[in-house]
């Protein structure tokens, strides 16, 4: 079975490329990798937002998106994985906004054969939270996908309800700090609880009226259990009055990292984007097989 078949190369067209790119966020250069498909474009763009701290960075999705004709960007937030500055939840949100502004810069877009009018956000865990928060405030984001999204507002409410939850989240965050700088478990919990209901994801649902949203939950997720982090947002989106949210949602029988359902995730994301971002329906690449 040929699971790695590539399309024939058109020597006359601009080739596929994988340039390193940077975006300024409050004076700090954010390092990213842009997966550009072959052809003159302009190509629709999918920004892939990794979670906390970013052990799973979804490069498999980036490669599959490129094969399907999308430009895919993976980047690191301030204070993470060698990037300067300090890590914080608020800086993550600001960094996503800065990256969107950079992608939409006419010179950057033209230089990389990108279509700044067709940009989608897709995030995992904390990245799902950041994708939803950003898209809710930016109607120019054409489509948004949250994969095992972590609801920081829900976690903040749990912390407010008891010191046990606050201590558990502090310990969890503290245990993931090796690739991060400028923060602590205590600081991250304090920032989350200070934001409180402002970061509760179901309250965003009305802002997605008439817009495409993909929500993927994980049935064996112990980090963002579906009953607390997925189902309330699905219910809130389904309750939005006409024109309603153009919602696609599912729960895959896997863990928080979707360790054994990466192909199913890829197929789901490609099908969603083909309906809402591509100039014409794009087929799932032949190299994506099984589930």
Tens of each residue's pLDDT in the chain, 291 residues: 343 456 565 667 899 999 999 999 999 999 999 999 999 999 999 999 999 999 999 999 999 999 999 999 999 999 999 999 999 999 999 999 999 999 999 999 999 999 999 999 999 999 999 999 999 999 999 999 999 999 999 999 999 998 899 999 999 999 999 999 999 999 999 999 999 999 999 999 999 999 999 999 999 999 999 999 999 999 999 999 999 999 999 999 999 999 999 999 999 999 999 999 974 444 444 444 443
Q: Which helix (H) or strand (E) holds 262?
A: helix 262-276
Question: Which residue, chain included where needed, has tokens 């199913």?
Answer: 264
- How does strand 212-218 pair with strand 28-35? unpaired
Domain boundaries, the chain: 20-276
Topology classification of domain 20-276: Rossmann fold (3.40.50)
Q: At residue 124, what are phi and psi to the nearest 5 degrees? A: -110, 130
Place of tokens 């609880």: 193
Task: Decide: helix, strand or coil at residue 177.
Answer: coil
CA gap 169, 126 in Å, rounded: 14
In the DSSP assignment, the letter for residue 203 is: G
* Cβ burial 142-153 (10 Å sphere, 16+ → b, else e): bbbbbbbbbbbb
- Can you say how many angstroms the Cα of residue 216 is from the centroid of all Cα atoms in its chain? 11
Spatial distance between the Cα atoms of 220 and 135, rounded to a whole number of angstroms? 27
């Amino acid at each position: 079975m040929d699971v790695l078949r590539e399309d024939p190369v058109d020597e006359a067209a601009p080739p596929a490329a994988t340039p390193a790119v940077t975006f300024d966020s409050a004076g700090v250069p954010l390092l990213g990798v842009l997966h550009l498909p072959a052809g003159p474009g302009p190509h629709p763009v999918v920004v892939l937002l990794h979670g906390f701290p970013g052990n799973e960075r979804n490069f498999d999705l980036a490669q599959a998106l490129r094969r399907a004709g999308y430009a895919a960007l993976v980047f690191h937030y301030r204070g993470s994985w060698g990037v300067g500055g300090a890590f914080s939840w608020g800086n993550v949100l600001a960094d996503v906004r800065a990256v969107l502004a950079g992608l939409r810069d006419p010179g950057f877009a033209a230089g990389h054969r990108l279509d700044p009018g067709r940009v989608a956000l897709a995030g995992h865990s904390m990245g799902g939270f950041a994708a939803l928060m950003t898209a809710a405030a930016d109607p120019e984001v054409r489509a948004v996908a949250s994969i095992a999204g972590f609801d920081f507002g829900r976690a903040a409410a749990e912390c407010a309800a008891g010191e046990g939850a606050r201590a558990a989240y502090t310990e969890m965050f503290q245990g993931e700090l090796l690739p991060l700088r400028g923060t602590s478990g205590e600081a991250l919990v304090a920032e989350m609880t200070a934001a409180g209901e402002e970061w509760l994801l179901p309250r965003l649902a009305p802002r997605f009226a008439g817009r495409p949203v993909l929500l993927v939950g994980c049935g064996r997720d112990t980090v963002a259990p579906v009953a607390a982090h997925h189902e309330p947002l699905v219910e809130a989106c389904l309750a939005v009055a006409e024109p309603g949210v153009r919602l696609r949602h599912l729960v895959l029988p896997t863990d928080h990292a979707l360790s054994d359902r990466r192909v199913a995730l890829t197929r789901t994301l490609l099908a969603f984007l083909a309906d809402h971002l591509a100039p014409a329906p794009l087929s799932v690449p032949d190299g994506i097989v099984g589930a």
